[in-house]
Amino acid sequence: MADKYTAVWVSHSSMGDFLKCPRCYFLHNVYKDPKTRRKISIVSPALSLGSAVHETLESLATVSAEKRQEIFKNPEKLLEKFNLAWSTVSGKKGGFAANTDGTPFEADYKARGVAMIERVAAHPEPLLEKTIRFGGAKMDAGGMLPNFFLSESENIILCGKLDWLIYRPVDDSVHILDFKTGKNEENADSLQLPIYLLLLDRLQKRKVSGASYWYIDRDGKPFEVSLPTVMESFDRVMEVARQVKKARDTAAGDGAKFLCPQGLAGCFACKPFEKIIKGEAKYVGVGEYNQDLYMI
């Protein structure tokens, strides 16, 4: 029976964890520290860089197109936003440490972030178009991400958020714009766009006319990518969601039943979380979503 409080919640990140390693999925998405009753998560320079850049750019969606034009006329204002966002991930809380030669490791990542913001400021056209905020009215009282029952009969909920939605008044449609801050391109098998499409199809009324990735670490403009159909998206996402649901039902809360494909030796995905369990990681505080944060 459908019940939001007992349902299995799936998202792009949680299903990605599961596909990499079921043990990683358990330790990151299910396990709670017996002492704090909080889930555990890992901070890293790459994640912190992405977080600061995304926070800076996504904050622009909260102001009018006219206000955005004013901000881009004075790029220093955008850099001020970035510096403020960076202050929340600076130091150990962002996973930063000193290089062995004494050069500040953090400074290298911050410089990359500044370069990304400057690149967007020099090519602001996609962010000057009309935009629609997705999530505000759909966030429920508990501050949950946009979500819906992927399957009521199987009690599975899909949740997620989007970086940016461009509004196209010519046909009253929306265009997905996703900011990429890493060096690698999104895998063609990624569930990200199928998940975005399903969320938009279910939770807002406008048709989705397209999608683009913007690799802002290297490119001055986004490039358009093909979208699957809603049915194709549902089939692909549901296939993985059912695997997650089955694993959780089979394990019945026993973490030992979530096995790493590499065996007891572990893999690149689960080993860092195992270090936390063994007390071999440095605790850095409580994160935005009330999880215990560690630096490996």
Q: How far apart are CA 26 and CA 14, in angstroms?
A: 9
Q: Given a cut of 50, is residue 136 above it in pLDDT?
A: no
CA torsion through residues 182, 184, 185, 189, sign: negative
pLDDT in tens, 199-240: 999 999 999 999 999 999 999 999 999 999 999 999 999 999
Average pLDDT over residues 93-102: 75
What pLDDT band is residue 99 in, cutting at 50, 70 and 90? low
What pLDDT band is residue 5 in, cutting at 50, 70 and 90? confident
Token couple for 103: 């050069």
Average pLDDT over residues 11-26: 97
* Mean pLDDT for all residues in the chain: 92
Kindly report which listed range (86-90, 127-131, 286-290) carries the lowest average pLDDT score. Answer: 286-290
Burial of 64 (0-12, 13-18, 19+ CB in 10 A): exposed
Q: What pLDDT is recorded for position 4? A: 87
**pTM recorded for the entire structure:** 0.92
Q: What pLDDT is recorded for position 21? A: 98
Q: For the CA atoms of the chain, what is the radius of gyration?
A: 20
Average pLDDT over residues 281-295: 93
Report for 20-24, 65-69, 104-108: range of highest mean pLDDT = 20-24
What pLDDT band is residue 52 in, cutting at 50, 70 and 90? very high
**Secondary structure of the chain: what % helix, strand, coil (to 5)?**
45, 20, 40
Percent of the chain with pLDDT strictly greater than 70:
94
Angle, helix 230-251 to helix 12-20, in steps of 10 degrees: 60
Q: What pLDDT is recorded for position 75? A: 87
pLDDT in tens, 138-159: 344 456 789 999 999 999 999 9
